[in-house]
């Protein structure tokens, strides 16, 4: 089994990275992780400083996990106070993964008003129904269906995947993307604000979903998605006060995200992930 060697200068924590809620297609299987990335079924596990993997070559693994990024420098830049410091210490090695833009778009459209286990369920359903089968030593998995594979379906077919009212959004997105090849390059070349506006033109994509896509698929690291968890954390530790404890209004969203970009800097998105991971871990206990 090939391996990549990690170090204090190049930290990485596979468990934190795969379990922090940014990805939906990895599962633990007796000590290892198995996941679908593009058309590859990948198995990986970590033994101390060794990242062991199968199913893809080393270049692809390094690119996927963004191991070339100087994580210590990024973490130093967001380490602004004791609270974030503790979150960083508890999850050091968590990295943002380079996700496929199309899959990420659909995943986070589905993520609205859904729990993480339910999101995983919706995505697995779509893959099983409409994605190419991918035989592997760890069983047959399915690739996430491309936009063409979904655009040719009817609303009813997507509803069968438990998407609920999100089915229409996904179908719209599929048809829109099919009629606009090159959207990835175009969005990727835009500034954060412009790219965000472009993504919010998709039905079912608001601030939060757009920010997730920009952070996870377009490496716009200043993006700071504000969900109910992050809102809670920010209220308790950074921006006390605010309106009713229900949803996140546009104004509050902009206030929180704006503050975070000023406060944490150009890698605010990394701060967001560490805060999110820490909040979720705290709830489990």
Stretch 262-281 residues interacting with DNA (CB under 7 A):
272-273, 276
Q: Min. distance of Cβ 167 from DNA in angstroms?
A: 8
Stretch 31-70 residues interacting with DNA (CB under 7 A):
none
Size of the site for DNA (CB under 7 A): 43
- Interface characters, 115-154, with DNA (x: CB under 7 A): xxxxx-x---------------------------------
Helices 207-216 and 101-110: crossing angle in degrees, nearest 10, is 150
Lookup: tokens for 62: 């390094």
165 binds DNA (CB under 7 A): yes
CA distance 19 to 277: 9
Q: Min. distance of Cβ 272 from DNA in angstroms?
A: 5
Q: Min. distance of Cβ 246 from DNA in angstroms?
A: 7
Q: Min. distance of Cβ 159 from DNA in angstroms?
A: 5
Nearer to DNA, 121 or 178 (CB): 121
Q: Concatenated DSSP letters for 84-139?
A: HHHHHHHHTT-------HHHHHHHHHHTTT--HHHHHHHHHHHHHHHSPEE--TT-
Residue 284 annotated in active site: no
Nearer to DNA, 19 or 54 (CB): 19
34-65 as b/e, with b when 16 or more CB fall inside 10 Å? bbbbeebbbbbbbeeeebebbbbeeeebeebb
210 binds DNA (CB under 7 A): yes
CA distance 126 to 83: 39
Category of 84 on φ-ψ map: left (φ > 0), alpha (ψ -120 to 50) or beta: alpha
- A 10 A CB-CB count for 82 gives 9
76 binds DNA (CB under 7 A): no
CA dist 153 → 38, 126, 219 (Å): 21, 11, 31
Q: Min. distance of Cβ 225 from DNA in angstroms?
A: 4
Q: Min. distance of Cβ 156 from DNA in angstroms?
A: 10
Nearer to DNA, 101 or 204 (CB): 204
CA dist 164 → 100, 119, 143, 159, 199 (Å): 23, 12, 22, 6, 22
- Interface characters, 221-250, with DNA (x: CB under 7 A): ----x-xxxx------------xx-xx-xx
Lookup: tokens for 277: 């991971």
203 binds DNA (CB under 7 A): yes
Nearer to DNA, 113 or 152 (CB): 113
Q: Which residues bind DNA (CB under 7 A)?
A: 20-22, 108, 111-119, 121, 159, 162-165, 203-210, 212, 225, 227-230, 243-244, 246-247, 249-251, 272-273, 276
Catalytic residue positions? 208
């Amino acid at each position: 089994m090939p391996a990549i060697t990690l170090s204090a200068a190049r930290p990485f924590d596979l468990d934190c990275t795969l379990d922090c809620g940014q990805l939906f297609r990895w599962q633990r299987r007796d000590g290892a992780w198995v996941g679908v990335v593009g058309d590859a079924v990948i198995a990986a596990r970590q033994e101390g400083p060794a990242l062991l993997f199968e199913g893809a070559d080393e270049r692809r693994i390094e690119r996927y996990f963004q191991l070339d990024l100087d994580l210590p420098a990024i973490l130093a830049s967001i380490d602004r106070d004791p609270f974030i410091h503790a979150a960083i210490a508890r999850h050091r090695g968590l990295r943002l993964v380079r996700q496929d833009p199309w899959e990420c778009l659909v995943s986070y459209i589905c993520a609205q008003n859904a729990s993480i286990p339910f999101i995983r369920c919706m995505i697995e359903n779509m893959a099983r129904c409409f994605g190419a089968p991918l035989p592997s030593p760890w069983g047959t998995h399915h690739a996430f269906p491309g936009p063409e594979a979904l655009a040719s379906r009817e609303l009813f077919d997507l509803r069968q995947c438990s998407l609920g009212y999100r089915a229409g959004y996904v179908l719209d997105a599929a048809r829109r993307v099919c009629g606009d090849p090159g959207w990835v390059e175009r969005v990727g070349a835009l500034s954060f604000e412009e790219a965000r506006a472009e993504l919010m033109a998709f039905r079912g994509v608001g601030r939060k979903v757009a920010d997730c896509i920009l952070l996870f698929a377009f490496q716009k690291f200043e993006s700071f998605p504000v969900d109910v968890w992050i809102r809670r954390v920010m209220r308790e530790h950074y921006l006390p006060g605010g309106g009713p404890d229900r949803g996140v209004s546009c104004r509050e969203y902009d206030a929180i995200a704006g503050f975070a970009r000023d406060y944490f800097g150009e890698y605010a998105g990394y701060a967001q992930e560490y805060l999110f991971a820490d909040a979720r871990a705290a709830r489990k206990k």
